[in-house]
Amino acid sequence: MNGTCDDGLIETGRILFAGPVEFLKGVAHIDQLPPAFELEVAFAGRSNVGKSSLFNALTGRKELARTSGTPGRTRELNYFIAAGGRIALVDMPGYGYARAERKLVKAWQAIIMAYLKGRPNLRRVFVLIDARHGIKPIDTETLEQLDEAAVSYQIVLTKADKLKPAEREAIVAKTETLIARRPAAFPRVLITSAAKGWGIDELRAEIAALLA
């Protein structure tokens, strides 16, 4: 949607996700992590940010990642395999577990931090932010964790179809300013809409660039 990726990477990204994308396993404990893949990318975001819908749009599957009206439905690191086993896509638990017990929340957070710090082939975490609301304090907490873990992350604004063109431009500019001095933040902000298919080619291209 934002036209920042070249046509070659967009085509490469399309090819990467043209083949099968399959669920591998859910990881509830660090010792359950699968062997390293050539490339691993993860997807994080506040509950109800539209992560499952974006995940499905990215992979071109309607129900690969299940959507739910219940916040915090994903309670494991869910591994999906693409590009003939070269790429692992990791769907992380949605943060902001309003209905979860504190003890359970702490357990999830411990698993996530151990994963972030100990997974050498994890090249990037795509942090999904609702374009209508921008970066909130709960998002900032996650960005700080990623900075601490020294894991490269990139902001992906979701639900952009809910905004007018001028509003989309404004939220991209504001978000870029907010992350400009964060040590692990990738400077390019993507803006997407799973419903309209906006920005999906660019997101695939970003993953293709990491594989290259």
Predicted TM-score (pTM) of this structure: 0.91
Cα–Cα dist 93/42, whole Å: 10
Return the structure tokens found at 38. Answer: 């050539």
- Residue at 2 is within a domain: no
| Structural domain span for residue 184 | 7-211
CATH classification at residue 168: 3.40.50.300
Number of domains in the chain: 1
- Residue at 152 is within a domain: yes
Q: 91-116: per-residue pLDDT in tens?
A: 998 886 555 566 666 777 788 888 99
- Residue at 151 is within a domain: yes
- Residue at 1 is within a domain: no
* Dihedral pair phi/psi, residue 10, rounded to 5°: -65, -40
Q: 126-169: per-residue pLDDT in tens?
A: 999 999 999 999 899 899 999 999 999 999 999 999 999 999 99
